Chain A
Amino acid sequence: MTTFPSKVATGIAALATGATLTLATPALADKASNTLNVAFAAEPEPLDTYKIAGRQGLILARHIYDGLLYKNLDTGEIVPALAESWEFTGPLTMEFTLRQGVKFHNGADFTADDVVETLNTVITPEYGTRYSISVDWIESVEKLDDYKVRINMSKPFAGAVEMLADALPIYPHEFFAQNGSTGMAATPIGTGPYKLVSQEPGIRYELERFDDHYAGSPKSGATLDAITVRTIPEMNTQYAELMSGSLDWIWRIPPDQAERLEGRVQIISAPIMRIGYIGFAPEAMGGDTPIATKEVRQALIHATNRGAIVDAFAGGASEVLNTACNPAQFGCAQDVTSYEYDPEKAKAMLAEAGYADGFEMEMVFAAMPRPTAEAVAADLAKVGVTLELNEQQYAAGVGKWRAKELPAFFSNWGSYGIGDAAFILSNFFGGGADDLVQDAELTEWLTVADTSSDREERAENYAMAVKKIADEAYWMPMYNFNVNYGLANDLDFTPHPDEFARWWATSWK
């Protein structure tokens, strides 16, 4: 009757020895094989840039595809990429001279047909380009000759050049016409510095350096032979892989964990375009909330100790903001009214506005760390304002905001990673569905700034808008986000504020 346990024990022992003997050692990283091993926590979307919202898929896509232009973030300059040169030939027309001798990954030559086919396809509503803002300014694209195209604009749009800088990639026309979006995603073919050699969509991607990548490319000089990208949803597992050497590059590490990893792996923190904000909605509930009063909004900002919140929860390269845009963005003037932390002043202002006993108000927060929202609520409680705090999925929060049922919404906005105030101000103050301020003056200034091709005029109008938003305290700007990267100790990687990792410019130390 004691046979059972002894059998079990033998079995386990056999299993254990079997395991130690037969297991291969996991592949070692990776300077030797010159392969960069990357992990994302979220699954990349199918690799048709025009349908991608998430940064993971876009990063992969930018290694595979090229745009007509490219923005050098170090100098702020727009530089030639697939287009050799370009000019505005009229208020609504741009002409591009294309580079010759560029090859796609499948060997096809890059010509005007590719530009025409790609752009004319993605602007159709049926194609379903994810962000309409990226293409809705294009009326049509014409071929002038094999290496010359003209873009006819449907409306003045100052962000046009920014958009053409790598956000609108060019696909090989024959393949794209035959296979469409699904085909592109299944077999991505671009002109970029890396080509995709295999993928399990959402799970694993293998990229290989494309040695025929065109000379003179702003993405030239790639040294890594190969890049392997995997999805590992659990951050702790990513840390383990990074420490054991089977990963070389991870990102979006929360500040507290970055601190703990420091010293074991290479940690770098870099500021990005995304900013956190509390939007106030004077228009909410038909304007019948305390938040419709300017002095109340100002008092709420005075009452919130934003400096302490940033230090405690954001860390790294984050700073308190005074503007409804990222200081790194064009047009985001910084000489605006600022509201220092002063709860006594806040109380006095509330009393003057008729809220000496405070009031109650709902605030939804979405895609922000809970402690930051709780800290805001605690600060406001000290001046008598009770926040009814609700954490919701982003979609639910935005839905409520657009339905004008929310006096305050605490979230963040990434401006598509673009360094131009157009991509944040106009969405929230340009008179659209997200604008619950509906300030006619703001809308007018922003319209001028968004459509003018005169840089001075744009800057001037954005500055006026930014100042008024601060004066009126329409927003409580919180802080600019930063991203923590975890890297192999011998990896030489430079982060950029647009959150596009440039692995073509990454090498080993």
Chain B
Amino acid sequence: MLPFLSKRLLVALLVCVTVSALSFGLMFLSGDPAIAIAGSGGRAEDAEAIRVAYGFDRPLIVQYLDWIGSALTGDLGQSIYFNVPVTEIIGNRVGVTLTLGFVSFIVALAIAVPLGVAAALRPNGWIDRIALVIAVSGQAIPSFWLGLMTIVVFGVWYGMVPISGAESWQGYILPVIVLSYYAIPELMRITRSGMIDVLATDYVRAARAKGLPMHLVITRHALRNAILPLVSLAAVQLGQLLSGSIVIESVFALNGLGRLAWESLLRSDLPVVQAIILILSLLYVVLTTLADVLNATLDPRLRGAS
């Protein structure tokens, strides 16, 4: 298990460095940050002053090394736009994203896994067909449209929930519904196909033949084996839910990390963008590593394979 872990960690570190270097370079390709910060009324003199003040006049590689040097000591710099430490801004906003992401993830799992199992038990039965409709529409309907529709119906027509904002817990209801809806299809389909394969195996047939109650056959024998690909997928999905909710956060005016990243990009707030990219790539790396470890624990065969 130890060589497996250390190899994973090394790869993880390399991924983080590569991602941060690439994103650093890409930021400068999208235009001169000094002019962007000076704004649409900024004269050349203003941009020059900003260029010097924030050190954009130094070679790119020097700026990068400088940044990564501070980042390693935990100093992610000052936000240019908000003029406060980046860690403070991220600290203010990460809660919304974590809440939204984790709750949506749990809701998605709680619906997708049972639905997938039920669909697998009777392929082409009515549950399976409903599941198929959910899966197809979940993959076909754009999230901003669904978000707005839920706003119109539940917020404007019925006035059951706040339309936007996260001032109360009710504000999370619609975003969680919409966000989890997009995580459900893949989770459900992988549960379903995994279960169908496993249910056809000899050991499941043997378990049923010896008279074990069906729910025990499913939970103890079938699901445990069908769950391996689900764990890997779920890790990626959790990563997406935690990082990829820019659209949902915008539609529902939730002030999370996704939206902060997007807006910071638009206003060339480089330190914030860099920090978020670093955090999110770390998150992905941690989650996939965690999934690998979890799978290795669940299935001893995988430990040797690495």
Interface residues of A (CB under 8 A from B): 1-5, 7-8, 11, 19-20, 23-26, 42-43, 45-46, 51, 53-54, 125, 128, 130-133, 181-182, 185, 200-204, 230-234, 236-237, 240-241, 243-244, 246, 367, 392-399, 402, 411-416, 427, 432-434
Contact = CB atoms under 8 A, between A and B. Distances in A.
Given A8-B118, A240-B155, A367 B82 contact: no
Interface in B41-86: 41-46, 49, 53, 81-84
Nearest to B121: A1
A131 B255 contact: no
A132 B46 contact: yes
Nearest to A133: B43
Contact of B148 (A26, A51, A53, A237): A237
A59 to B, nearest CB: 15
B286 interface: no
Contact of B164 (A8, A23, A241, A434): A241
A128 B49 contact: yes
Given A234-B251, A393-B30, A395-B33, A8 B115 contact: yes
Interface string B254-291: 01000100010000100000000000000000000000
Interface in B196-227: 214-215, 218
Contact of B32 (A2, A395, A433, A434): A395
14 contacts: A1-B214, A23-B173, A46-B82, A131-B42, A132-B45, A185-B83, A204-B167, A230-B253, A233-B263, A241-B163, A246-B162, A395-B32, A395-B36, A413-B40
Contact of A398 (B35, B118, B156): B35
Interface residues on B, range: 35 or more
Contacts, number: 168
B114 interface: yes
Given A3-B215, A23-B161, A237-B148, A53 B35 contact: no
Q: Which 6 A/B pairs are nearest by Cβ-Cβ distance?
A: A433-B44, A396-B31, A395-B36, A53-B39, A395-B31, A395-B35
A233 B258 CA distance: 12
A53 to B, nearest CB: 3
A204 B93 CA distance: 13
Nearest to B152: A240
Interface of B is mostly: helix
Contacts of B83: 46, 51, 181-182, 185
A496 to B, nearest CB: 18
A394 B42 CA distance: 11
A200 to B, nearest CB: 7
A414 B40 contact: yes
Contact of A232 (B30, B121, B156, B253): B253
Interface of B: 30-36, 38-46, 49, 53, 81-84, 92, 110-111, 114-115, 117-118, 121, 127, 144, 148, 151-152, 155-156, 159-165, 167-168, 170, 173, 214-215, 218, 250-253, 255, 259, 263, 268
Contacts of B161: 19, 23, 26
Contacts of B263: 42-43, 233
Contacts of A202: 82, 255
B36 A26 contact: no
Given A244-B163, A398-B32, 19 more contacts: A5-B127, A19-B161, A23-B161, A26-B162, A45-B81, A46-B82, A51-B83, A53-B41, A54-B39, A132-B46, A232-B164, A233-B259, A236-B148, A241-B164, A246-B162, A394-B31, A395-B32, A399-B32, A412-B40
